[in-house]
Every structure is written in structure tokens, then in C-alpha cells.
């Protein structure tokens, strides 16, 4: 079976507290975007079959055991005694980019294993299992625009009037670790009724990503990308997550050809 895990952008991102468990409390809206990895899981029919994980596409750094797809399989195997499988992950979504690609892969692995082996795990329990993989993972079980709080696991569906708009994603290839991003973030109170702005057209949005100022001070390319997107007609620009991907929202499909040489660039029509 093959599935196509999507990514997300953050529409507004505020860090409101340092929690006792060591995590930070956030307030944001996660919006799923049609940029996909590909994940295939097949049963190993051999009696002495063993778990096999392979990948292609973008190179995945780190130890295989730390991959969230592998962790998802091992988590369900510990709970349900799964047979051996062969897993292949084709990476398209840039990593360390604030797009949640790794979190999506892990969450969709849970979803696919649940279906493949008819485990009948209800959505709420899948979300709880996903939260053990990572803070962004439960969103990809839900997989629709959501207001997000807690450390990222408290989700409420959120209606956004963005039909017909296009989005441009630009990633300069800078890998920003979550730990590095949180070192420079400013903790502040959540602006009152900031999410009400999302019901307005994007050119009227004034909300912020709390990580931008700190990341831009280290990597001025982030601000340069935002300015180029605005010059190209973007109604709103922001860095997503802890970076380094920047997005611009456009009323009509933009032409980005030749404007960001050497950078990952993707235009997605009709949000």
C-alpha cells in the first residue's frame, strides 16, 4: 500500500509559555499543503521475514532508528505484535524546513499500518500515539486546517476562506534545528483574537511567527526571500514553523522562474 504524506505551513505562531515538562506552549494554525512524500508499506510474506526500511529522494540524515516512520512501526509492533514489513520512504519535502515532513511521515505510517493490518485503532487513540512520536504528528492524523495549542497536540478544526489563492514555498536549504530555534525565541502572551484575522483576506493579516526575528538575525536570507516574494505580488509572507521555509500567499499563480536560483521552490495552485 502506498500513501502520500503532505506537509503544512503555520499561519501565525506564538510561543506563550515554557511548560513544566520541558516543552513550550504554542498557539498557531496549521494548514495542510499539497506537497507530498511517498510512503509504501508491504507485508513480508516470508516466514523468516525481517523488518526492512529503505529510502530514496532527498537524503535523510541521522540514524535509521531515529526516523519517525521506523519509530511508528516499532511503537505499534510493541502494542500489537505486527508481522514483518518492508517500508520505503521517498522524500520530497525538505527536512529541517518547518514544513513538518518528518512528522507527517510518522503519522501516516501509523495510519497506513492501522489500515494494512486492520488494527481498528480509533482516530483519538491514533492522535495520542502520534503525540508520542512528536508534537506536530497528531495534526497529520487529523489532516485539515486546525487551531493548535498545548505543545502542538491540542487541535481544533479551523475554517479558512482561502479558496482560489496560490502559495509559493521557498526553502534556502538552511537546516534549522528545533533546539536552535527555541534558544532565541521570545516567549510572550498570545495576542488577543489574533486568529480572527484569518477570516480576513491575506493582505490584511498582521500576525507573526515568533521564531522569525531570531532566525533572521542568524540567516538574513529569510528576510530577503520575504521581500522578493512581496515584490512578486505576495499578499502575505512568513516563515513557517521554526524555519527555514518561507511562504507567500498570492491571489493569482505567481511566476517564480529564475527568482530563487539554487533554492527549493514550489508553487501550489488553489489552496
Residue 188 CB coordination number (10 Å): 12
Q: Which residue in 169, 166, 41 sits closest to 110, CA to CA?
A: 41
φ, ψ at 157 (rounded to 5°): -55, 145
Residue 44, Cβ density class (10 Å: 0-12 exposed, 13-18 middle, ≥19 buried) = middle
Element (H, E) at 75: helix 68-80
Q: How many other C-beta atoms lie within 10 A of the C-beta of residue 86?
A: 15
Given a contact cutoff of 8 angstroms between Cβ atoms, the answer to whether 242 and 216 are in contact is no
The answer, yes or no, to whether the previous bond of 56 is cis (omega within 30 of 0) is no
C-alpha grid cell for residue 199? 477570516
Of 88, 87, 90, residue with least CA distance to 56: 90
Structural contact between residues 31 and 145, judged by C-beta atoms closer than 8 angstroms: yes
Q: Which three cell numbers stand for residue 194?
A: 489574533
* Partner residues linked to 56 by β-bridges: 90
228: DSSP letter:
H
**Cα separation, 150 vs 75, whole angstroms:** 23
User: Which residues carry out catalysis?
Assistant: 8, 136
Amino acid at each position: 500500500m502506498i500513501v502520500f504524506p503532505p506537509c503544512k505551513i503555520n499561519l501565525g505562531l506564538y510561543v506563550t509559555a515554557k511548560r513544566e515538562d520541558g516543552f513550550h506552549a504554542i498557539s498557531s494554525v496549521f494548514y495542510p499543503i499539497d506537497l507530498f512524500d511517498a510512503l509504501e508499506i508491504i507485508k513480508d510474506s516470508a516466514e523468516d521475514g525481517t523488518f526492512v526500511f529503505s529510502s530514496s529522494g532527498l537524503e535523510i540524515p541521522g540514524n535509521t532508528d531515529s526516523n519517525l516512520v521506523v519509530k511508528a512501526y516499532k511503537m505499534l509492533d510493541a502494542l500489537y505484535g505486527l508481522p514483518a514489513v518492508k517500508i520505503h520512504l521517498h522524500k520530497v519535502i525538505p527536512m529541517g524546513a518547518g514544513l513538518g515532513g518528518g512528522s507527517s511521515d510518522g503519522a501516516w505510517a501509523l495510519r497506513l499500518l492501522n489500515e494494512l493490518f486492520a488494527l481498528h485503532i480509533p482516530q483519538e487513540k491514533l492522535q495520542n500515539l502520534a503525540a508520542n512520536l512528536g508534537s506536530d504528528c497528531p495534526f497529520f492524523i487529523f489532516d485539515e486546517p486546525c487551531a493548535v495549542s498545548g505543545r502542538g497536540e491540542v487541535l481544533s478544526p479551523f475554517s479558512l476562506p482561502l479558496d482560489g489563492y496560490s502559495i509559493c514555498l521557498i526553502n534556502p536549504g538552511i537546516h534549522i534545528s528545533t533546539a536552535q530555534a527555541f534558544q532565541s525565541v521570545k516567549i510572550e502572551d498570545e495576542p488577543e483574537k489574533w486568529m480572527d484575522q484569518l477570516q480576513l483576506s491575506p493582505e490584511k493579516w498582521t500576525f507573526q511567527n515568533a521564531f522569525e526575528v531570531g532566525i533572521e538575525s542568524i540567516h538574513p536570507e529569510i528576510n530577503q526571500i520575504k521581500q522578493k516574494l512581496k515584490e512578486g505580488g505576495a499578499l502575505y509572507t512568513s516563515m513557517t514553523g521554526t524555519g527555514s521555509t518561507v511562504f507567500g500567499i498570492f491571489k493569482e499563480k505567481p511566476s517564480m522562474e529564475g527568482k530563487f536560483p539554487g533554492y527549493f521552490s514550489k508553487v501550489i495552485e488553489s489552496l
